Structure 1
């Protein structure tokens, strides 16, 4: 008997509670950086305070991600909706120039994560065989997935798996793990991403790379299922993952006193471009295809680590604008939501009537290591 294909389907996303235009967010971040530095320096004169405020705003607008490629971002934390620093949950910058310590951020993450899981499963009556929780922006035990299973009385029926701290490429190992669980006999694996990237901003860090990170990343939550099935979805054909040579420090992500701190080298697109040719040859071969055919015919779901990533890879591979439209659209409308971003791109491709059933989808994502992860999918009707 022929096995049914492995499909990614049933995509649902939850928009963060607070949405704002990128221009307004840049103004808020500039104000936060100024407030943090004023708290640290405590200048005596109004003239000195105004000069410091102007300097920090100029830095944010110079190095931050501009409104021409990101139009809006979302956050679950309502601190970003006002500048009354004394009533902030996290960014009480009159007392804590870097924001409140990691413990308070973790508590907030746990609260939001619990609500997100309950909302995703509000109408779910039957326990899913497996829930896989993916995140790199918060760690609380029991996790939101475990609390959901306990609350619903699913403990004897639902296996919970945590896929944590991989960064932006984590959707790739998640679907690879899910495929392995299907081979082990599980009927379905639900994958849930909960990323609260904005929770980890440090307004006392004014370095250009930190300003890029703070103005690029956003919050996102999405759920989808991986199972052997028929119908609409994305069929999994092949996966591949490798670490580019001599790139260990190009991207880092670690827990600090004031949340999680990321570093990001300007050379990341160069490193990816240098390794991508052989990587795509091997990915295509895993499904009995050639990379040249993919460049010509496939849609590319590129994790939008930033505008430069999409633009440079598209140029390097000779892709047409339509082939990377979904990635650009998600970056424009949401920003970089870490591991939740690529599933949003997949969801957009599935919803796009201009992408016909049968179209191949090349998925690429990148993270610390420097890890390059890919999957070859096919849109099923």
Structure 2
């Protein structure tokens, strides 16, 4: 549970995806995939289109092979571009300027950089050099809420000042094209994208009915599943000479089974029941994991409409997925003052992260 005091609120949100997007069928053709099992994984993913940064064809027309160095350079180059656009869109939504940013927390799991994206974006955007910063690297899809917890703490300790959380995931920089089913599952699922959210304890802006209410962050909870510590991994593949992501086929069911316990922990002592939750912002982890979470928590398809919509339009965007869903909820304008919502992410560890918010 977060410390008492004035609750920080989500004051604005912005996202960015690559200009190059592909349908699943276009990707199968582009990647020369003929294996019917792999094609089935792509076409039954509940994903229609994703933004990806793929290499040009080799001179002989074959699919170019990217080295680990190529992938890291892509992660850096595209990450800075997507992160910049997400920050600019977020500040526009917040009615704030770059000069207002006093804390920058950047999250990524699709590459390793030193210095990290926080330093690179401060230089790229011209943010004041006295801006405090934090990089959260390698935690995976759940990391957006881990980082939001840290940003919440900073905002509480610096009343009235503006903090930004930026999730930058160039998932195409973590792809291995080796024809295996292990890689096919990953390659069928993830998309490139960045998302930024502004957090502050400053008074909400005057916006009348045209301005939707901004949710305050009340508390956070974590639930790690140690027996599933190896179920989601990003580690070195000796055969390919690259880092490679791996997903255990059972992970959707493991996460779903532990979701009720995570929710019980979040609501403990609040007097709230699961039926009191009006809005759900759930990580777009994949069709099976979303369905498993929905069934185990007793949610309707309407409850996860933005989660499945983001999955359909962008794929799994790793740590930033939940902010894409939150952006759709905010734009929808259905949240009313007093409504309670839950933000939920899942990822390696295996871990379920939750946050409780009130509009």
Residue 59 of structure 1 pairs with residue 40 of structure 2: no
- Alpha-carbon shift at residue 252 of structure 1 (Å): 1.1
Q: Please point out which of 10, 13, 17 is paired with 1:11.
A: 13
Q: Please point out which of 167, 173, 177 is paired with 1:193.
A: 167
Instruction: Give the distance between the partners of 1:233 and 1:139, measured in 2 at CA.
Output: 34
Distance 1:238 1:20, change over 3 A: same
Instruction: Give the distance between the partners of 2:294 and 2:58, measured in 1 at CA.
Output: 42
- Corresponding position of 2:294: 314
Structure 2 stretches lacking a partner, 5+ long: 206-212
Number of matched pairs: 338
The Cα offsets for residues 91-126 of structure 1, whole Å up to 9 and x where unpaired, read as 52xxxxxx3221121112212223334445568441
- Corresponding position of 2:210: none
- Corresponding position of 2:148: 175
Residue 86 of structure 1 pairs with residue 69 of structure 2: no
Instruction: Give the distance between the partners of 2:356 and 2:60, measured in 1 at CA.
Output: 48
Instruction: Give the distance between the partners of 1:126 and 1:24, measured in 2 at CA.
Output: 42
Residue 283 of structure 1 pairs with residue 266 of structure 2: yes
Instruction: Give the distance between the partners of 1:19 and 1:339, measured in 2 at CA.
Output: 19
- Matches of residues 219-234 of structure 1 in structure 2 within 5 Å? 219-229=192-202, 230-231=204-205, 232-234=213-215
- Matches of residues 266-305 of structure 1 in structure 2 within 5 Å? 266-285=249-268, 287-291=270-274, 293-294=275-276, 297-305=277-285
Residue 218 of structure 1 pairs with residue 205 of structure 2: no
The Cα offsets for residues 56-80 of structure 1, whole Å up to 9 and x where unpaired, read as 432321233526x1111001x242x
- Corresponding position of 2:157: 184
- Corresponding position of 2:327: 347
Distance 1:10 1:87, change over 3 A: farther
- Matches of residues 99-248 of structure 1 in structure 2 within 5 Å? 99-120=65-86, 124-150=97-123, 154=127, 156-185=129-158, 187-207=161-181, 209-229=182-202, 230-231=204-205, 232-248=213-229
- Alpha-carbon shift at residue 258 of structure 1 (Å): 4.6
Instruction: Give the distance between the partners of 1:360 and 1:139, measured in 2 at CA.
Output: 36
- Corresponding position of 1:45: none
SS at match of 1:141: coil
Mapped contact 1:117–1:145 kept (Cα < 8 A):
no
Mapped contact 2:122–2:129 kept (Cα < 8 A):
no
TM-score by length of 2: 0.85
Instruction: Give the distance between the partners of 1:370 and 1:212, measured in 2 at CA.
Output: 18
Structure 1 stretches lacking a partner, 5+ long: 34-55, 93-98
Distance 1:86 1:258, change over 3 A: farther
Instruction: Give the distance between the partners of 1:218 and 1:282, measured in 2 at CA.
Output: 31
- Corresponding position of 1:377: 357
The Cα offsets for residues 250-299 of structure 1, whole Å up to 9 and x where unpaired, read as 111224465431111121122123222222111112544233x34xx422
- Matches of residues 37-76 of structure 1 in structure 2 within 5 Å? 56-66=34-44, 69-75=46-52
What is the CA RMSD across the aligned residues, in angstroms? 2.5
SS at match of 1:270: helix
Q: Tell which structure's C-alpha radius of gyration is larger.
A: 1
